[in-house]
Amino acid sequence: MKQPAVYILASGRNGTLYIGVTGNLLARTWQHREHMGDGFTHRYNVTLLVWYELHATMDTAIARENRLKSGIAHGSCG
């Protein structure tokens, strides 16, 4: 069963952050930890789940992800 979620990974304390959205948080975090891709999280070793938020629909999860990313880009979060 899919459960939309927004999540934040970190490379460590005061490290690099990654914000993502998924329908299967457990599987997706495992993929990040095992470096299953050659993208950003692999390049910067961003594997530690530090926060997540569950959503009723993927649309609301994507909207929340975009708000979080926009807040970081503009110097605020939330």
Q: What is the pLDDT of residue 78?
A: 55
What are the CA-CA distances from residue 60 to residues 3, 4, 30, 32, 56 (Å)? 12, 9, 23, 23, 7
One pLDDT digit (tens) per residue for the chain, 78 residues: 689 999 999 999 999 999 999 999 999 999 999 999 889 999 999 999 999 999 999 999 999 999 999 987 666 665
**Three-state secondary structure call for residue 8:** strand
Residues 23-37: tens digit of each pLDDT: 999 999 999 999 998
Q: What is the pLDDT of residue 45?
A: 95
Q: Where are the beta strands (DSSP E) in the chain?
A: 5-10, 17-22, 48-54
Q: What is the pLDDT of residue 28?
A: 96
Tokens matching residue 14: 């005061």
